[in-house]
Amino acid sequence: MTGGGNYFEDFRAGQSLNHAPARTVSVGDAALYTALYGGRFAAQSSDEFARSLGLPSAPIDDLLVFHLVFGKTVPEVSLNAIANLGYAECRFLKPVFAGDTLGARSEVLGTRENSNRESGIVYVRSTGFNQRNEPVLSYARWVMVRKRAASAEAPPAQTPKLAAAVEAHDLVTDGELQLRAFDRHGTGSAAFFNDYSVGQRLDHGDAMTVEDAEHMMATRLYHNTARVHFNAHSEKQGRFGRRIVYGGHVISIARALSFNGLGNAWFVRGINAGRHVAPCFAGDTVYAWSEVLDKVDARGRDDLGYLRVRTVATKDRACWDFPYKSGSDAAYDPSVILDLDYWVLMPKA
């Protein structure tokens, strides 16, 4: 039997969704992820460096974990999506290593039909688990999903209240993380937690052009089956007349580019809010810049701190002048495609 996915009218608040199959993560997945984005963060690049931090080996990149859990949810949540709209309340709860097996479950938080009656917004909270059933990731997202027909009865409207940000005291710091022995000259960056100030802006300088083959390979890596990313034949009749790039692909590009300026931000520990402001297509060139929004000492640690960072990605526009919002209506610059507010864990000098 072919799975057609859920449509908007199939969702109800409180509904539980199990996502299968589980996915064992390998060093091959990590290598392919590096090939796709070129991330250079030391903890994920070197087993020896990771062991100097007290970890058994290089952990799987936090965003690869996010994408794998996200991909598990697509067949039940967003196979019939028009667009993924945003994220909130995301926390990375436990490190994942090669050999771990990830599964996922979701709970529907609410629904809201759009005025055109052809689609609606579905809010879900998804949790990723390892093979020991330990939560490794939890996040909320909302997605615009098609209806089978405009005349179909919509589920009762219920919009959940989501936190504007993850509180720093709710972030999880791996208790095994030790900073006595790591090589401070071998990280690729001389800037540590104490070198940043609130309000500081960083142009990440480099850029990356999106290729059709790469964004589809990445999305397949995550078992993300959303049709809008793959089916050029059907998408010719869609809103944009072509395939759109999975928003997470843009997030990972921006994160990789952020190494220039945030090279010691080894771990993402929470996502406060994220918005895919505009679609990205093959052929677009992605640039990024970041702003430090807040600085907080890690609870119970005098050697670690959290930076709250906003990273903005643009297409076909360099970020030397930090394009964001402007005008009386605070509209985004037309080049902006991603607005991501998140916490990173960083060692102190």
What are the tens digits of pLDDT across the range 60-103? 999 999 999 999 999 999 999 888 889 999 999 999 999 999 99
Distance, in Å, from the CA atom of 247 to the CA atom of 280, rounded to the nearest integer, reads: 8
Looking from the CA of 43 toward its CB, the CA atoms found within 13 Å total: 24
pLDDT digits (tens, 9 = 90+) for 10-45: 999 999 999 999 999 999 999 999 999 999 999 999
**Mean pLDDT across the chain:** 94
Go through 198-223 and write b for each residue having 16 or more CB atoms within 10 A of its CB, e for each that does not: eeeebbbeebbebeeebbbebbebbb
Residue 332: C-alpha distances to residues 314, 328, 338 (Å): 10, 11, 10
pLDDT higher than 80, residue 286:
yes
Can you list the domains of the chain with their CATH numbers? 8-347 (3.10.129.10)
Tokens standing for 234?
């059907």
Q: Other C-beta atoms within 10 Å of 144: how many?
A: 18
pLDDT digits (tens, 9 = 90+) for 232-275: 898 898 888 999 999 999 999 999 999 999 999 999 999 999 99
**Residue 3's pLDDT band (cuts 50, 70, 90):** low
Q: What is the pLDDT of residue 1?
A: 44
pLDDT digits (tens, 9 = 90+) for 320-335: 999 999 876 789 999 9
Go through 243-271 and write b for each residue having 16 or more CB atoms within 10 A of its CB, e for each that does not: bbbbbbbbbbbbbbbbbbbbbbbbbbbbb
pLDDT digits (tens, 9 = 90+) for 111-139: 999 999 999 999 999 999 999 999 999 99
pLDDT higher than 80, residue 226:
yes
pLDDT digits (tens, 9 = 90+) for 91-115: 999 999 999 999 999 999 999 999 9
The strand pairing partners of 201, in sequence order, are 291
pLDDT higher than 90, residue 309:
yes
**Residue 227's pLDDT band (cuts 50, 70, 90):** confident
Please, are residues 196 and 307 in contact by the beta-carbon 8 Å criterion?
A: yes
* Section 168-193 average pLDDT: 91
The set of residues, in sequence order, having a beta carbon less than 8 Å from that of 277 and lying 6+ positions away, is 332, 336, 337, 338, 339
Proportion of the chain above pLDDT 90, given as a percent: 86
Please, are residues 80 and 5 in contact by the beta-carbon 8 Å criterion?
A: yes
| DSSP structural state of residue 169 | G
